[in-house]
């Protein structure tokens, strides 16, 4: 009996050594929206403001799509649609390329969503919701990566870096108008990770921009009166 048991176990072990043919993705390929080429966590909404890009009338927001499945040597269409119920932007505010393609040999590609600036954006934010749908090439990926909201405007809000130190030492009180001029003068909108000496240098550039403009007859005012940098800026 003992001998029989040993033979049965040995046979089982030998059976387990037979090669298992792996089909990596079966026949389905999945497409999903991604934050970056390597980040496939739930998609994050995008916020864009023309106020950070002075002089720009239209701009392109890149939206990444990522493949889970086999690469192809053919361009394949991705079914991306605008969810009209959740979209507040007008069709004239943006342009979605058609067709949206995952190009041959790529596992990540970019949807070039074009946004157009208009006066309406100065006072209101608008939203576009893009949704991935199934088609003959792809199944939609995880639920958290099937739709993305792009909110855009030409509006500003006081950034976190414009804190009391920046206000006291460099830029003075915040206003949207001042922030807009600051961006125009310096070409930057974000001083979050800058050192104090770099913040000071940008503030000096802004100070001189105001002075140079005033010498040329420009008037810079906001709700606080004349726009100036902090009197402590030297």
Partner 1 sequence: MNMKQITRYSLIIGLMILSASCYKDKGNYTYEELNKVTIVFAHGEFLSPRAADTLHIEPKLIYRGDTIMASTVADEFNFTWYCNNVEISTGPVLDYAVRDLTGIRPYVKLKLVNKNDESTFLAGFFCDIIPAYLYGWIVVTKKDNRSIISFIDPTTYEVTADFYTTMSGEELGPNVVEVKEHWMAGSGLTNPGNVLIIRNDAAGNIELDGTNLNPIYNTNNFFLGNTLPEDFRPRGEFYMWDYSMMLDDNGNIYTRKHVNNAFSQSGVYPNKPMFIPNGVKFDKGWSGTYLSGQTILYDKTKGQLWLGSDRGLVLPVVYMPGPPIPPGTTLIDAMDKELVYVGKLQQGRFTSSYYLIFFDGSQHYVQKIMVIDQFYTVQAVFMGEMPFGAGNANAQSVFCQLPRIESYMFYSGGSDNKTLYLYEHGPGISSEYYTFDSPIKTITQSQSEVMGVQTHDQLMVGLENGDLYILGILSDHITDPSKRLIKKIELNQGVPVTTMYKVGFGFTQM
Q: Is 170 in the site for partner 1 (CB under 8 A)?
A: no
- Least gap, CB of 172 to partner 1 (angstroms): 17
Q: Is 15 in the site for partner 1 (CB under 8 A)?
A: no
The per-residue DSSP string of 68-90 comes to ES---SS-EEEEEEE-TTT--S-
3-state DSSP of 90-106: CHHHEECCCCEEECCCC
- Least gap, CB of 174 to partner 1 (angstroms): 21
User: Taking contact as CB under 8 A, which single stretch among the options 52-60, 94-102, 121-129, 209-217 is the one that binds partner 1?
Assistant: 209-217
Footprint on residues 38-97 left by partner 1 (CB under 8 A): none
Q: Which position among 62, 88, 212, 221 is part of the footprint of partner 1 (CB under 8 A)? A: 212
Q: Which position among 35, 68, 200, 220 is part of the footprint of partner 1 (CB under 8 A)? A: 200
Nearer to partner 1, 21 or 219 (CB): 219
Strands of the chain, DSSP E:
30-34, 46-49, 58-68, 76-82, 94-95, 100-102, 108-116, 126-133, 139-140, 147-153, 221-222, 225-226
Q: Is 169 in the site for partner 1 (CB under 8 A)?
A: no
Closest CA to 106 of 42, 27, 41, 34: 34
**Rg of the Cα atoms in the chain:** 28
Residues in contact with partner 1 by the rule CB under 8 A: 195-198, 200-202, 204-205, 207-209, 211-212, 215, 234
């Amino acid at each position: 009996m003992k001998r029989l048991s040993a033979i049965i176990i040995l046979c089982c072990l030998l059976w387990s050594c037979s090669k298992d043919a792996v089909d990596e993705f079966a026949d389905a390929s999945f497409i999903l929206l991604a934050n970056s080429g390597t980040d496939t966590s739930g998609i994050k909404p995008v916020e864009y403001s023309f106020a950070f890009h002075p002089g720009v009338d239209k701009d392109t927001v890149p939206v990444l799509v990522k493949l889970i499945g086999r690469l192809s040597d053919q361009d394949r269409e991705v079914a991306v649609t605008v969810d009209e119920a959740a979209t507040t932007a007008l069709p004239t505010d943006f342009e979605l390329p058609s067709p949206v393609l995952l190009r041959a040999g790529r596992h990540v590609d970019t949807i070039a969503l074009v946004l157009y600036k208009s006066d309406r954006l100065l006072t209101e934010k608008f939203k576009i919701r893009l949704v991935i749908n199934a088609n003959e090439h792809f199944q939609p990926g995880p639920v958290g990566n099937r739709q993305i909201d792009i909110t855009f405007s030409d509006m500003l809000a006081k950034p976190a870096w414009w804190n009391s130190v920046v206000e006291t030492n460099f830029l003075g009180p915040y206003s949207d108008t001042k922030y807009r001029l600051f961006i125009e003068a310096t070409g930057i909108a974000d001083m979050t990770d800058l050192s104090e000496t770099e913040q000071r240098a940008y503030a000096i550039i802004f100070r001189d921009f105001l002075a140079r403009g005033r010498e040329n007859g420009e008037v810079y005012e906001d709700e606080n009166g004349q726009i100036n940098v902090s009197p402590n800026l030297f």
